Amino acid sequence: MNIAFVLHTFPVVSETFIVNQICALIDAGHDVNILALERGDHSIVHEKVHRYGLLDKASYLETEPKSKWRRLKFLVKTLKGGSKTFHGSRLVKALNVFRYGKNALSLHVLYRMQWFLRKDAYEVIHCHFASMGLYISRLKRDGLLSSETLVTSVHGSDIHPGKVADYRNRYPLLFETMDLITYNSIYTLNILREVHADTSKMRLLPVGLDTASFVKSQAAIAPTTVQILFCGRLVPFKGPDLAIEILRSLVERGNDVHLTLVGTGPLLETVSALIETYGLREHVSLKGAMSQDDIKRLMDNSHLFLLPGIHEEPGGRAENQGLVIQEAQAMKLPVVVSDAGGMKYGLVDGETGFVVKEKDVPGFVEKLELLINDTTLRTEMGDNGRAYVIEHFDAGVLCEQLVVYYRESIRN
């Protein structure tokens, strides 16, 4: 299939799940192009961006200038492409003053639909995040797209419970025009249901990872001090301050443990203050933002993964999926997470890790101590976790499911 991925910015280091999805589709033989509103930082990119030549597959929206002469220049450049390269009927439609009036004369319509003037039209237009889905929905509403299958994947920042009333006003066009909407967990689906009761177009598709690149080595980790890893933005709903409270209890109970926090954010000062107040400086490392390769090295030298997320107040936002939980399991780390949001759907409680009641510090301590004191259990859970992620979250496996969804949704 000929597929267009519509993104706000490309590349984005934190959106490796999108890169994994694109690369899996390419590996499966599909032709994928990337359409982005803005250029990301090209100096720091995932290695797959270069290996698959994704920068060459990316087109960036040419912004509409105020100058009339520059607009005319854009029109001339488009016409120079010739009828062999551009979709003639769409060009005529974009210039139809009877339908679009001043917006056609000013070339505003032409600028809006510039990505879709190519003669070899896309079969599938796949938008990541609802904001980009709405961008494409408006083109469909205005008659500027025709037979393409339209897909939007929602993730987290675009669908959380504190904004349900707002989404009910903003998203009706999205639900009307999209042929397929994917969500990453049952938690996300439950929020979608509150926004739009009809779920017939909605399908489960978690974000995935390249499990072949997350492999535990025989790294020499400290034999006595148990290394616990937290990885995520230092924001309330991920619970970094709660991780410090849990560590405090573990240390006070005589456990030889060390906690490493990867990430930065508005709670950095709060976390730093707690470390000083509790005298935990020797037991905690703050690493700030790190590349994925560096995070994998930390996972390779850790024993356990901790993510004690909460439902943030006000608004109730929580982790929708938490791909880092699957990354940790792929690296054979038993994971201990809270039951807030969608995290609990990304592991097998009691087999690949533990799910603990939200904000239950003693509960977290109990499960962590069980893993701290039982190396055999750690090994069994680590092995189970990797097998589970390979079966359910590998990018190749999820790509096969996505293609099934595409084919089911393609217009006849």
Q: Helices (DSSP H) in 212-359: which residue ranges?
A: 240-252, 268-277, 292-300, 323-330
- CB hemisphere CA count around 121 (13 angstroms): 15
Segment 127-171, tens digit of pLDDT: 999 999 999 999 999 988 888 999 999 999 999 999 999 999 999
The share of the chain scoring above pLDDT 70, in percent, equals 96
**Backbone dihedral angles phi then psi of residue 321, each to the nearest 5 degrees:** -135, -60
Average pLDDT, the chain: 93
Give the Å distances, CA to CA, from 122 to 102, 116, 181, 238: 28, 8, 18, 38
Amino acid at 390: I
Copy the structure tokens of residue 404. Answer: 């099934």
Across the range 70-81, mean pLDDT stands at: 82
* CA atoms of 64 and 79, how far apart (whole Å): 17
Helix/strand/coil for 125: strand
Question: Is residue 118 pLDDT above 80, yes or no?
Answer: no
**What is the structure's pLDDT at 224?**
82
Residue whose pair of structure tokens reads 């909460």 in the numeric block: 310
Please say whether the dihedral angle defined by the alpha carbons of residues 227, 333, 327 and 220, taken in this order, is positive or negative.
positive
**Backbone dihedral angles phi then psi of residue 83, each to the nearest 5 degrees:** -65, -15
Segment 271-305, tens digit of pLDDT: 999 999 999 999 999 999 888 889 999 999 999 99
**What is the structure's pLDDT at 219?**
61
**Backbone dihedral angles phi then psi of residue 32, each to the nearest 5 degrees:** -120, 130
The share of the chain scoring above pLDDT 90, in percent, equals 78
- The neighbour count for residue 407, using CB atoms within 10 Å, is 12
Segment 8-47, tens digit of pLDDT: 999 998 899 999 999 999 999 999 999 999 999 887 788 8
